[in-house]
Amino acid sequence: MTSEERAESARRAGNMSKERGTGVHGMTYEERLLAARKSVQSRGQVPYTPEEENKILVLSDQPRFIHDSGKHTGSVNCILLAKEINEKFHHGENVRNRIAVSKKLRRLKK
């Protein structure tokens, strides 16, 4: 099957799903959020809470979480930010790392 055939097949399946109201097309926004949260948990990960997301945004604007020297001057220090989030929300456990916090911050600032 060529890539064009696969794309057409996927398009038809998506359209049928939308017409029938099945899968994500048949879910409300809240149901999709709940499904996403369950998916994250089923993979053994810890979903972000709204409070945690808000704290990441607030802390990222504070001067103590901004690099003040070196090649990253002016950017958010995600290592410190992850450490602070882990202390406040995960009892010091290393649940969030700099990469996860950096990706979440980018998504939140869109």
Please write the tens of the pLDDT for every residue from 57-68. 999 999 999 999
Half-sphere CA count of 102, side-chain side, radius 13 A: 10
Q: State how far the Cα of 62 lies from the Cα of 36, in Å rounded to an integer.
A: 30
| Residue 21 binned pLDDT confidence (cut-offs 50, 70, 90) | confident
Task: Please give the pLDDT value at position 26.
Answer: 78
- First vs last Cα of the chain: how many Å apart? 37
Mean pLDDT of the residues in the chain: 92
Confidence of residue 90 (pLDDT cuts 50, 70, 90): very high
CB 97 within 8 A of CB 82: yes
- What contacts 24+ positions apart, CB below 8 Å, involve 4-13? none
Integer angstrom CA distances of residue 105 from 10, 35, 37, 59, 82: 32, 22, 18, 10, 11
What pLDDT sits at residue 62?
A: 96
Domain limits, the chain: 3-42, 50-108
Check the CA dihedral 34-46-87-78 and report its sign.
negative
